[in-house]
Amino acid sequence: MARVAASLLDRRAGPPAAVSQHDSVQHWVEAYRAVRAETERRAAPLSAEDQIVQSMPDASPTKWHRAHTTWFFEQFLLKPHAPGYREFDERFAFLFNSYYVAAGPRHARPERGLVTRPNAAEVTAYRSHVDRAVEQLIANADAATIETIAPIVEIGLHHEQQHQELLLTDILHAFAQNPTDPAYDQAWRPPQTQSGTVFVDLPVGIHAIGHDGDGFCFDNEQPRHQTFLREVSIGRQLVSNGQWLQFMAEGGYSTPSLWLSDGWAKAEAEQWSAPGYWREIDGAWLTLTLAGLKPIDPAAPVCHVSYYEADAFARWAGKHLPTEAEWEVAARAGVLANAYGVVWQWTRSAYLPYPGYRAAEGALGEYNGKFMVNQMVLRGSSLATPAGHARVSYRNFFYPHARWQFSGLRLADYD
Ligand SMILES: [Fe+2]
The three-state secondary structure class of 94 is helix
**233 alpha carbon to ligand 1 midpoint, in Å?**
36
Question: From CA 204, how far away is CA 232, in angstroms rounded?
Answer: 8
**380 alpha carbon to ligand 1 midpoint, in Å?**
20
**43 alpha carbon to ligand 1 midpoint, in Å?**
16
**49 alpha carbon to ligand 1 midpoint, in Å?**
22
The three-state (H, E, C) secondary structure of 262-315, written as one string: HHHHHHHHCCCCCCCCEEEECCEEEEEECCEEEECCCCCECCCCCHHHHHHHHH
**370 alpha carbon to ligand 1 midpoint, in Å?**
14
pLDDT tens by residue, 73-96: 999 999 999 999 999 999 999 999
Q: How confident is the model at residue 214 (pLDDT cuts 50, 70, 90)?
A: confident
pLDDT over 50 (residue 266): yes
- Residue closest to 362 by CA, chosen among 151, 211, 214: 151
The predicted structure's pLDDT at residue 20: 60
**328 alpha carbon to ligand 1 midpoint, in Å?**
25
pLDDT tens by residue, 343-379: 999 999 999 999 999 988 878 888 888 899 999 999 9
- Residue closest to 273 by CA, chosen among 312, 324, 233, 234: 312
The three-state secondary structure class of 55 is coil
pLDDT over 50 (residue 17): no
pLDDT tens by residue, 295-331: 999 999 999 999 999 999 999 999 999 999 999 999 9
pLDDT over 80 (residue 22): no
pLDDT tens by residue, 270-289: 999 999 999 999 999 999 99
The predicted structure's pLDDT at residue 59: 97
**106 alpha carbon to ligand 1 midpoint, in Å?**
13
pLDDT over 80 (residue 232): yes
**304 alpha carbon to ligand 1 midpoint, in Å?**
22
**413 alpha carbon to ligand 1 midpoint, in Å?**
36
Average pLDDT over the chain, rounded to an integer: 93
The predicted structure's pLDDT at residue 213: 80
The predicted structure's pLDDT at residue 365: 84
Segment 139-144 mean pLDDT: 93
**264 alpha carbon to ligand 1 midpoint, in Å?**
31
**181 alpha carbon to ligand 1 midpoint, in Å?**
28
Residues with CB under 5 A from ligand 1 (ion): 98
pLDDT tens by residue, 38-73: 999 999 999 999 999 999 999 999 999 999 999 999
**391 alpha carbon to ligand 1 midpoint, in Å?**
19
The predicted structure's pLDDT at residue 4: 30
Question: From CA 11, how far away is CA 268, in angstroms rounded?
Answer: 47
Q: How confident is the model at residue 2 (pLDDT cuts 50, 70, 90)?
A: very low
**98 alpha carbon to ligand 1 midpoint, in Å?**
6
Q: How confident is the model at residue 99 (pLDDT cuts 50, 70, 90)?
A: confident
Helices and strands of the chain, counted as H and E runs? 12, 12
187 sits in which H/E element: none
**329 alpha carbon to ligand 1 midpoint, in Å?**
29
